[in-house]
Amino acid sequence: MLKNRRHFIGTLIVLIIGVGFYWQSQSHAPASYRSSADIIKHTYERDLFTLSAYKKEHYGLRMFRQTQDPKYLPLVRQNIADISIKLNQLASDLTINQSLDKYAEQRLSEYRQSNGERSQRRLQVTQDKPEYFYLGLDLLHYMARIDGYGLQHKDDALFRQQLKGYPFQALFTDQEMTKAWAAQLANQAYWLKQLQLGDYVELFTQTLQRTYPDKDDRQLTTEQYENKIYGMTHLIIADSGYYQRQVNEQDHPWIFAYFKQNIDDIIANTKQDVISEVGISLLLAGLDNDPAVEKARQAIQHSIDKQAGLVPSAKGSTDYSHGEHRNLLAILLLDWHTPTPGPNTTTTPDLFTPLPYGLQKKP
């Protein structure tokens, strides 16, 4: 076991110190923005393995999809293993109702401990829907991820039965749920479509637009305005398979028209994560030369703390771990690459041999 662990750590060290020639040669961004992205990338890859498993796997999967650099594949392999463990546990929990109750209660207690507007909204709308944590936020997420890899769990039929019995359609028309979980609902609409469990994308898009009519933007709190934009960006990012393919601008007319027309307000009134996602959404539609992309890139480039080597939070925090999501998005925006499918059992078959317990290739 110790020998295997040393081998794994050695592989990860190689990942950290790998040089980015492939990365630079495939970039579509101007050199000045690439240089800024490299500052952030160096900061994060220097200490990447001090992050939680979730955050380093989040970073590695998206960086591989953007660059196709194999140095990120060990993180994808770790993600496959971690999801197998989670799905095995969820399958076990399904047979014990008390486990499911405890699972939901633990999540709800996290929101009870926060007085923030978002946490309180989530607590209020979800405390009578405890199964949403298990089915919507976790099980559906993990199933969609392994499906994208070309895999399924040995209990796939059981999982699908549970998801089919859950009233997702009611969630996608619920404006209070939308005010609390816009980005997550956008993701879930596309995950269900991916798994062929229902197509609710247009339904949720209509609910999002009805919940946040553009004429009422000035009446929204900062948190609610960001929630609106997050819901919009995640409809685009999810449509791309999370950076695996370009999207069609005509499929999302309201969203792209809004981003182009309101980029100045978005930059002035949202945090850096949101600004980057808006710019990335435009890039996913092939709108590299749109003025809104340039404005988003300038805003993010100007926000970099060069001494810390990263984009700080809106409150000025340079905490390395808490900033992973924000800084990964900044890298993608500033050094954009053409979306490429994978990794999956077709594009990188060796990555999926052997498979961890519970997972198998899709027939």
Q: What is the pLDDT of residues 229-282, one digit of tens each?
A: 999 999 999 999 999 999 999 999 999 999 999 999 999 999 999 999 999 999
Q: How would you label 36-59 residue by residue, b for 16+ Cβ within 10 Å and e otherwise?
A: bbbbbbebbbeebeebeeebbbbb
What type of residue is 299? A
68: left (phi over 0), alpha (psi -120 to 50) or beta: left
CB 145, CB 349: distance < 8 Å: no
Cβ neighbours, 10 Å, residue 145: 19
Q: Is the pLDDT of residue 13 over 70?
A: no
Cβ neighbours, 10 Å, residue 235: 26
Q: Is the pLDDT of residue 22 over 90?
A: no
pTM beyond 0.85: yes
The structure tokens 């005010």 sit at 179
> Encoding tokens for residue 132?
């949403």
| Domain spans, the chain | 31-361
Q: State the pLDDT confidence band at 194, using cuts at 50, 70 and 90.
A: very high
